[in-house]
Amino acid sequence: MATILDGKALAAKCKERVKQEAASLKRTPGLAVIIVGDNPASRVYVNSKRKDCEECGFFSEEYALPESTTQVELIALIEKLNAREEIDGILCQLPLPEAIDEEAVLMAISPEKDVDGFHPMNMGALLVGKEGFLPCTPYGIMEILAEYGIDPKGKHCVVIGRSNIVGKPMALLLLQKHGTVTVCHSRTTNLKEICLQADILVAAVGKVDMVTADMVKPGAVVIDVAMNRNAAGKLCGDVDYPAVSALASAITPVPGGVGPMTRAMLMQNTLLAAQKHQR
């Protein structure tokens, strides 16, 4: 039976450490969260982020803008937040309404306040191995691996998904830790064969039961990034958890695995931003 990689417990530990470090700063760290429109999933995420800020002793501001908000209005708000000293981090919840160019909005956030790590400056820093904000989900996964003594060095790491938010930065972080990395995606023709070679398998697709037991090498470490609902309406990831957990050496549950660590790393990045701004 696999070790359950308890992201919830680790996240609580991380947030406690962040809270203690934040308390020693001259000024309370501040996070501004922007949400545009009324995507129900986004609303849940934004509420959680507010709660996390309270737990860590941060101050937070929420900007809930209507679906009809224009790109110009949104960027004007971001520029105002960029200029405010007491705001250390700015997060614009994705997805944005179709009429808004996501890239232009992410580019408008000052790289020094980009606690999501989505600005091309921070993405580029990650690519070349320089200091910058790391995207929270892959960052959280690296923390889970470290906590459980799982070293990617020399391992075949297979990442399913190539998004800017998860798949690509995940591949870079595993590579930085000397993993041998393969990135699979929707056009990959021999997905099962590649997955069967994985010592560490990261699934970030968003499709129920995408990873079945016949795709997993016995003893592999399985990281499930997705947050889906199955036909019965129950929260689940990409991995067929009951079958895969019987043969993996370690696995993240959904919920309670990667999700809480994503949130904890946002707090970590906000603390880091505040420390830099107060230096």
Decide: is 136 part of the binding site for ligand GUN (CB under 6 A).
Answer: yes
Question: Side chain identity at 158, as an amino acid letter?
Answer: V
Decide: is 60 part of the binding site for ligand GUN (CB under 6 A).
Answer: no
Decide: is 271 part of the binding site for ligand GUN (CB under 6 A).
Answer: no
Q: Which of 91, 184, 239, 244 binds ligand GUN (CB under 6 A)?
A: 91
Decide: is 270 part of the binding site for ligand GUN (CB under 6 A).
Answer: no
Angle at 234 between CA 1 and CA 220, to 5 degrees: 25
- Give buried/exposed letters for 111-129 (b at 16+ CB in 10 A, else e): bbbbbbbbbebbbebbeee
**Count of residues that interact with ligand GUN, criterion CB under 6 A:** 8
Single out the segment in contact with ligand GUN by CB under 6 A; choices: 2-10, 65-73, 85-93, 123-131: 85-93
Q: Which residues pair with 228 in a beta bridge?
A: 236
Nearer to ligand GUN, 136 or 250 (CB): 136
Decide: is 94 part of the binding site for ligand GUN (CB under 6 A).
Answer: yes
Whose CB is nearest to ligand GUN? Answer: 94
Q: Which two tokens stand for residue 171?
A: 């591949």
**x-or-dash string of contact with ligand GUN, 159-198, rule CB under 6 A:** ------x---------------------------------
Decide: is 93 part of the binding site for ligand GUN (CB under 6 A).
Answer: yes
3 state SS of 32: strand
Nearer to ligand GUN, 132 or 250 (CB): 132
Q: Which residues pair with 250 in a beta bridge?
A: 3, 221
Decide: is 205 part of the binding site for ligand GUN (CB under 6 A).
Answer: no
**Cα–Cα nearest to 57, from 26, 34, 29:** 29
**DSSP strand E in the chain: where?**
3-4, 30-36, 59-65, 89-92, 156-160, 180-184, 200-203, 221-224, 228-229, 235-236, 250-251
Q: At closest approach, how far in Å is the CB of 97 from ligand GUN?
A: 14
142, 264 in Cβ contact below 8 A?
Answer: no
Catalytic residue set: 49, 93, 116
Q: At closest approach, how far in Å is the CB of 175 from ligand GUN?
A: 21
